[in-house]
Amino acid sequence: MTRYLLSHAIDDGAARHPSHAAVKLGTSELTYEALALKSNQIANYLVGEGVKKGDRVGIYMNKGLNTIACLYGILKAGGVYVPLDPFAPVARIAYVIEDCGIEIVFSDEGKKSEIPELLSQVSGALRVAGPDLTDGELDHQITWGSVWQDMLTSSPRLSQVEGDLAYILYTSGSTGKPKGIMHTHRSGLSFAEWAAECYGLVSKDRLSNHAPLHFDLSTFDYFAGHIAGATTVIVPEAISKFPASMTRFIEDHEISIWYSVPFALIQILLRGAIDSHDLGSLRWVLFAGEPFPPKYLRDLMAKLPQAEFSNLFGPTETNVCTYYHVPRRGSLSDDPLPIGRPCHNVEALVADEKDDPVADGEVGELLIRGGVVMEGYWGMPDRTQARFLVKELAPGVTQRFYRTGDLVRASEDGNLNYLGRKDRQIKTRGYRVELDEVELALLSHPSVEQGAVYLVSDEEGSNLILAAAVLHESEFVTPKDLLDHMAQQLPPYALPVRIDLAKELPRTSTGKVDRMKLAAEVERATTA
Amino acid sequence: MSSVQAAIKEFIKKELAVGLSRDIDPDEDLFTSGILDSLAILQLVMFIEEQFGVEVPDGDVVFENFHSVTAIQQYVNGREAQVR
């Protein structure tokens, strides 16, 4: 059968191996057959509620078996799933709901106490499906019990095509308002099929799902895993906070494919009691989202001699991955990892300011074309247009490239190196500085466990470079030691004016360092 | 309420969950309820080591030992008994 919708992976799996587990959480699981039936029932409920093709439906709950049934059910109803971060402030959730016009939200017991506040903050009509509230507070409420009991188990008959919208992922915008990145079934499948093939996923694989659903990494865990007929094991929210619990989770569930931000892996390496667990089941350790400092990657590779490692590189706008790299053991220097080579489903262009290709070895912006590229930002046609370069090959024949904003340079071996964000390239006292380069210099100090470089404006309105670092336990170095170390790699004007030693760095809900929060705290302290 | 439980609650309310106006139920899950996040755990472990004079090895920093005030209290009591 030709696969052209994301939900086909589940229906294929139900036909091929109905009793094989598709999703697991703790000791509970949904087989492929059960997931197919439950998602059909949810789709029938949504169709009955009047959901039509392209309608956005929210998922506001902690990750669980029902969450994944909802995800596929929304797709089968022709809808577009919009994951709402269960740990985000209610005001932000309400903003997303209004921004993309969500009328139905799936939720669960865990979010029950937030629902009344959410309803009061959303001006339009909002129906909440899922929580078994017995106090009758909500109109239009449906409980899981009645979905499983009353709804047909056959899939609704709809006309759907691969170019239909499938999901919208909201990411933090530089303006402070989240923006919704729209992806189609085609872009989801383009990535998932590439990934399933590249990493050789098979039905006996057991994938971890560490990332929250609003983070694009999760589309690998579910769509690539399910295309391969594999089992995806949810890392419970509570466990994901404890490195040693994550280590035991990998051992207990015999995880063969782990995928997360480097931060989680570094926590496992440093605090996960990794030596007292058998992690021999791991076959691939995948990471994305932030650079993985080589000093930790080397140690982790030594602890897991049987596993292969790979970095997946790409913004949410190009659906997880456009460039990938498989570092080899023994060849890892302290230099940052290259982002590697393009995935076979993308065409890349490294361009100068005039959008012409740069010569080999020159720095340019990475532009990407291919099935993985987003449709655009929800409700922002101008902003979307500004992010694309349209090249005309012949009259009426055009190619559309997404401008990633990432600065890259090809090395002699053909690998691409990431040099930083175009918008993290700043001017300070007239000098051009790559903040990411400054950060890498800080991270290269052996005593530094985590580090971040960020920008604040001084009283004259010019840029000041600041840094924050978390040291390894029982390391005693001063900010001056760190600066001396950085001064060996950077020109004086690129050095931070101050390095704060901290016990921790603030992180976003996807696990990346929250530099905006760091800057806001400093600015608040100076103005107070 | 034992003194261990009171000390843990006070530390969480004062240092980790700033702005939390309600009381913490000793059995409620500190992490899925959003009272604490992963960054809080390191501070909590350091506090326990200093306050109660017990060593907390990495392998003990697991969900079962730290998910609620009661669980932390039981863990600390167990460690204290081992030290004596």
Q: How far apart are CA A70 and CA A179, in angstroms?
A: 23
> How many Cβ atoms from other residues are within 10 Å of residue A173's Cβ?
13
Cβ contact B32–A238 (<8 Å)? yes
Residues (pLDDT < 50) of chain A are none
Closest partner residue to B31 (CB to CB) among A241, A243, A267 is A241
Mutate to test the interface with A, among B61, B66, B67, B75 (most CBs of A within 10 A): B61
Instruction: Provide the pLDDT for residue A148.
Output: 86
Q: Does B34 touch chain A (CB under 8 A)?
A: yes
Give tens-digit pLDDT for A355-364: 999 998 999 9
Indicate which CATH number applies to the domain containing B65: 1.10.1200.10
Main-chain dihedrals φ then ψ at residue A359, nearest 5 degrees:
-70, 155
**Spatial distance between the Cα atoms of A409 and A419, rounded to a whole number of angstroms:** 7
Cβ within 8 Å, pair A244-B58 = yes
Distance from CA of A141 to the nearest CA of B (A): 23
- The three-class DSSP label of residue A437 is helix
pLDDT at A34: 97
DSSP, res A421? E
Which residues in chain B are contacts of A472 at CB distance < 8 A?
none
- Cα–Cα separations (whole angstroms), residue A39 to A156, A292, A320: 10, 37, 25
Instruction: Assign B38 a pLDDT band (cuts: 50, 70, 90).
Output: low
Q: Which residues pair with residue A500 across a beta bridge? A: A468
Q: From start to end of A247-363, where are the E strands?
A: 257-260, 284-287, 308-313, 323-325, 341-342, 346-351
Say what the pLDDT of residue A204 is.
98
DSSP H helical ranges for A82-130: 90-99, 115-121
Which residue of B lies nearest to A271 if distances are taken between CA atoms?
B58
**d(CA B6, nearest CA chain A) in Å:** 23
Q: What secondary structure letter does DSSP report for A507?
A: B
Domain range enclosing B38? 3-83
The H-assigned helical ranges of A17-160 are 32-48, 65-76, 90-99, 115-121, 144-150
The dihedral over CA atoms of A291, A293, A297, A300, expressed in degrees to the nearest 10, equals -110
Per the CB < 8 Å rule, is A241 touching B61? no
What are the structure tokens assigned to A194, written together? 């590439």
d(CA A493, CA A32): 58
Tell me the CA end-to-end span of chain A in Å, nearest whole number. 64
Pick B31's closest partner by Cβ from A237, A243, A248. A237
Res A167: pLDDT:
98
Q: List, in sequence order, the alpha helices (H) in A166-221.
A: 185-198, 217-219
Residue A182 CA to residue A422 CA, distance in Å, equals 23
Contact A213, A195 (CB under 8 A): no
Q: What is the pLDDT of residue A176?
A: 58
The confidence score (pLDDT) of residue A433 equals 81
Q: How is residue A220 annotated by DSSP? A: I
CA distances, A86 to each of A89, A92, A213, B38 (Å) = 8, 11, 10, 16
Give me the number of domains chain B comprises: 1
Angle between the N-to-C axes of helices A8-16 and A32-48, in degrees from 0 to 180, rounded to the nearest 10: 140
Contact check, Cβ <8 Å, B66/A239: no
From chain B, pick out residues whose CB is under 8 angstroms from the CB of A245.
62-64
Give the pair of three-digit tokens for residue B73.
Answer: 């209290």
Residues A138, A141, A145, A146, CA torsion sign:
positive
pTM, full prediction: 0.86
Higher pLDDT, residue B25 or A191: A191
What per-residue confidence (pLDDT) applies to A455?
A: 87
Contact A273 B58 (CB under 8 A): yes
Query: What per-residue string of b and e applies to A378-411 under the rule 16 or more CB within 10 Å gives b?
Result: beeeeebeebeeeeeeeeeeeeebbbbbbbbbbe
Identify which of A239, A504, A507 has the shortest CB distance to residue B63.
Answer: A239
Query: pLDDT digits over A23-81, tens only?
Result: 999 999 999 999 999 999 999 999 999 999 999 999 999 899 999 999 999 999 999 99
